[in-house]
Chain A
């Protein structure tokens, strides 16, 4: 059933807007009723993000719908081009413009010669897939249509592809990744696709030496950049101590560089102490069952940390979106047996009451559904209530692992009785 007590799965159109809206100087025109734009703008706050792009709506009336009259869109594009002179205008379809069959690509092609801005159309009006499709399409379009051939290369620099505002902890995780790359390799960040970036930075993305791809939605863009500008890429995000160390080793191999051994040894020494402390704390409890939820790549990368390093028994993992065949890395067999793809609210409720987890690492909706679960940590979106301002509480990297352990130990301390008696 398509009935939802909580939230439906965000659509491709929402993903498109989320990915574009965090790019400074990006100019977006939506062809649709104004209400969706207004709603969308307010939605950015829930993602703990701000609207960095310029976003306009054309609005639509009955004439546009009944007669298919798209003059309003053409006039709006010309007006925005003349008034603001943006280098690119991203023209985004709405559900209504898709249904009435407005051919955005054709319109953009027709008037391209009359405007200075390069017009890039996104035709997904919300019915072609979920938000991951919109995010994938934006990153690919940026790589193909915005990134320019580099005049000079920027040595010891990298890009991050796939840190987008729909990633719950994107801001803190970005800081952590930049810190690791600096400490381990002396590399600096060139730009990000697409959180906290700008059109100019994206144009100059090919100056960097290589790309770090955090999610499957960014692979198409990374492949294009590799094929056209010779930029190598590595896929995956660093979660946990071992995960981060392996991730660093992956970069060493791909780039044929050596990491700072003093830095990594120091981090791993700290890791041993902290892991020991967690095991010592959890040892006294009979069971320590967990449920995870989030996007596919995050689950793939965080699972070994939670299951192996922290020795928490992950019973279920919910991937909160659909999976495009071949677009993601393979999941371990162990995790795939526990994973439910795009499960319904009812299924999640059933699993929660069946498993009775002691802890969930989850999105805001699951946190709400799992009111009775004693220990909770939000690791993914949708976000309902949390405000994220402080940028030094990552989940990725060595510091992320440390921070998660700190939260975990505090939650255990607060819930000792419940953990012993069950709930």
Chain B
């Protein structure tokens, strides 16, 4: 499996950004999870070497440039996520999967609040109710994403 020797971290970040840009039909727009956050939550949980605050900040800036959000918005959101995870890392890591999913849901909900605050302060109105769907999707996706990333990480480490 020489093809899979690509390091898992950059590949996963790249894919997360790419998935984030993929267009969805209008009615499904609210269902798109924040892929980048899910991937970064995984890395902060599993190896803080990859998911440190500095790295989160830089990746957030990159995402801001890519998505045309206010420069620093996603960086701020990722840093808040990262801080919470690093703070409770010891506990979160040993949660059973369903509890971990709930925790991810909590994190994503918290993030939505941050978004609401940032956009409210920058003068954008209240978003429609679909705005709140995305954390639920994130929660439902978390176990699968976790298993996928875990196997990818172990494989790339095992071969290295």
Say whether A associates with B: no
Binding site for B on A (CB under 8 A): none
Binding site for A on B (CB under 8 A): none
